[in-house]
Structure formats: C-alpha cells, structure tokens
Amino acid sequence: MRVLMVQTPSVEGLSPERVYPIGIVTLATHLKRAGHEVELLDMNIEADPFSALKERLLGCRPEVVGLSLRNIDPLANRTSSLIPPFATAVRLVAALLPRAWIVAGGTGFSLFPRRIMGELKQIHYGIAGEAETSLPALLASLDNPSGIKGLCYRKGEKVLVNRPSVDYDLTRYVVPSREVLLPRLYQGINNYVPVMGIETKRGCPLKCSYCVYPRLQGKKLRCRQPDGVVDEIELLHKEYGVKDFHFNDPVVNLPSGHLEEICRELLRRKISIAWSGFFREDHLDERNIRLFEEAGCNCFSFSPDGLCDQSLQALGKNLSQDDILKAAGLAAGTDVVTMYHFMVNVPGENTRTIDSGLRLLDRLYELHSLKRNLGTVVLNNIRLMPGTPLAETAIKEGVIRPDTDLLYPVYYNPPPYEALRYRLEAYHLQKNVFMWQEVRQ
C-alpha cells in the first residue's frame, strides 16, 4: 500500500528548535520491511506546514495516512495546545483524500485515544502505545482488524481501545532507516536541543506521582544491546555527519551499568561525539560521572522535581535533598554543563517548604560557582495527566473535578501559592546572571 507518515506540529509558532522524528521514521522502516511504499513528511521543518501537507497528499495520493501526535503542548508552563494543528491536519487529509484511511498514533495520542477519536470522527483507527508490530498488522487487515495490541477502533458511537503493547523486545530493535528522512534536513537548525535522539531502552520502574512514562512504556526496563546502540551512533556520525545526540530514555543511567557499557564502547571505538540525557541523581558516583564526561556527555540534565524533602515525598520521587546535593557536587566538579528541573507549588507547599527550596537553590549555585557550569534551573508548575496519582490528589483536593477535560493544559497550581513560580524564577534568574557575569552578590 502507499502510505504517507506525517509528523504533525510538535513545537509552537516560530520556535527554532526542532528534533528528528525518530518515532515515525522507526515505523516507516517497519512498514517498508513489510512491503509498503512509504513517504514521510515532518510538518515541523516546513515553512508553510499545511501547504506542504496538501502538496504531499495530492502528489503521492496515499491509501493510508498515518498522523503522529507526539506532544500535546509545547511545555514550559504554556497554556496553549498542539491539539488544534493536529485536528486541522486530520481534517485536511479527510477533505482532500476522502477515500484514504486515516490512522493516528504517537505518545500524545496514546494518552487520550478515546477523547481524540471521539472528537475527530475522520480518524478511522488509532494505535495507542508501541506500534512497531501493531501498525503493520493493522495495514494487513484494515477492513476487519482484530486482536491487535493498542488498536483504537469504533463500535457504533463508542471508541474501543485494546490493551497497548509495552513489551516490544528491544534486543531485536530495528535501527531506523534514515534514508526515509535525511538527517541533513535538521542539521544547523537548533541552538540548544540536539536534533538527533537515540533510544537505548524503554520503560520506567519509578513511581513519580505526575508522570505518564510507566503508562506509555511499561514499568519494566527493556534495554537494547549496548554495542547495537553504538552501532547506530557510529552510523549516524560517519554516514550523516551527526555530532550531537540526546538519549531519549526516561532516565538514561538506569539500570546501573547499561550506560557505562555504552560509554566504554564509544571510547573503545574512538567515536568523538557529544551527548546528553536525563540522569537519576542517586545512581551517580565519582567513577561513572568521569566516564560519562570522557565519553562525550556535554549536559547533565537532572529532574529531581522537588525542592525539599517534603516535596520530594509528595511527588513520589524516592529521593532526598542530600541525594540532589551529592549529585550536584559530582556534576559541579566536571567541565560539563548541568541543568536542573523542579516542580513548583506541589501538594503540601507551605512557607517552610519554600524556604527550604530557596536554600537548595542557594546551595546549587554555590557548588557550581567555581566552574560556572550551571546552565539553568527550569521551574514548572505540574500539568495534570489522566490516571496519575497526582490527578487523583487534585480531584480529592477540589483542584479539578472528576470530569475536568485534561486534553488541554490544566495545571496543579492551587492558592495561595499560584504565583510562587514567578518569585522563584526571579530569584534563580538573578543568581544565574550574576554567576555568569561574575558579579558578586
């Protein structure tokens, strides 16, 4: 079959930051192996995204159009949503090619399959969760699919969703064919974010109260073979000139030893690249942090989320302030830039937790002041996601109702501290500017 895979807008407006859409490239690779003719379109790199979509639809006349909704909002405390451009893309496909099958998927779609298909009647099917095996199976049985993991389909007015796949065997991982979407189209675009993601594992055993990773990928860690990961990096580096990578894993240094094996293999092959990822604080030590730096890590991203022990407990982080400060001390001793992500106005916030959080920020800047290697501190309110413990807490506290529509941005940010983020951002920004400008406070 002729298939067009489309990455719908994943960033907002004129933001220059773009990332290579590894998800649809992976699926396109599997579809091509199954004998389908596949083309790709990433609307994020088009000057006129909807004109580009129209041109491609009328040019290749696909029998199936797969639309990926990766992000549901642009993050960074925005109240805007990426649902409207996705909905517009769906409706444009249906208007231009009324006989084409429309299949939706992606991580954003997987969080709200019933809600999205209930609103967008033009979507024939969806795939919630992993789609490497489910999408080829669907295309082989479009007239009467059954028993497919994650399949979202209609029965009368109802949208039914089969149990999603969270068990794809990553030891049999198929490296995405970058020939279907050339990496050179993305090189030189971004100022901050590496455009090329690498997946080394799926799943997350942690129990953060706000997070949907365990729902999307399962609670069990499934790891790729380290040498296979390095094979992919080496191919991208040598064949396509990619020099900067981001490991897409929920936590890059879990389980212990896996990232270390990847780094040792990078060093053994003398592959000189830069890479980054999100690290778990209590799995760092003097030995592995030096190995990570030597193997090319250029940014330690930490997301401890809670600014004090009480907040960490409320968020289910199974971390302490001491764990954060120990990791910060290790990172501050390297020549690698470090970033921290924290949640603000979490359940139980009070004057004591705020004061404790301010002291933690002070200590982080003290630790990083010698080498001036603190990139930034990101402060966010928490977007509420369906089915999470925090969403249940918000219902019990009356922050939201049981029927509150979470498809569009709703944050846990109750009074009296709804403006706390701005106070903390001002405090952090002054410290950051003074540090980089070498001005004593």
With 0-12 CB in 10 A as exposed, 13-18 as middle and 19+ as buried, what is 142?
middle
Angle between helices 286-294 and 258-268 (to 10 degrees): 40
What tokens were used for 182? 């050339």
Handedness of CA 328, 330, 335, 336 (dihedral sign): negative
Per-residue pLDDT band for 77 (boundaries 50, 70, 90) equals: low
Average pLDDT over every residue of 332-360: 98
Q: Taking 70 as the threshold, does the pLDDT of residue 368 lie above it?
A: yes
The answer as to CATH 3.40.50.280 being correct for domain 2-161 is yes
Architecture (CATH level 2) of domain 194-436: Alpha-Beta Barrel (3.20)
pLDDT confidence of 78, banded at 50, 70, 90?
A: low
Question: For 159-197, how does the pLDDT look when each residue is reduced to its tens digit (9 = 90+)?
Answer: 999 999 999 999 999 999 999 999 999 988 777 788 999
Q: In the block, which residue shows the tokens 């389980």?
A: 255
- The band of 16, judged by pLDDT with boundaries at 50, 70 and 90, is low
What does the pLDDT read at residue 189?
79
**What integer is the mean pLDDT of 66-70?**
96
Query: From the CB of residue 298, how many other CB atoms can be counted at a distance below 10 Å?
Result: 15
Q: Which residue has the higher pLDDT, 12 or 273?
A: 273
Residue 348 has pLDDT above 80, yes or no: yes
- What integer pLDDT is reported at residue 89 of this predicted model? 98
CB of 336 within 8 A of CB of 375? no
Extended beta strands in 348-436, E state = 374-380, 382-383, 411-412
Indicate the domain borders of the chain.
2-161, 194-436
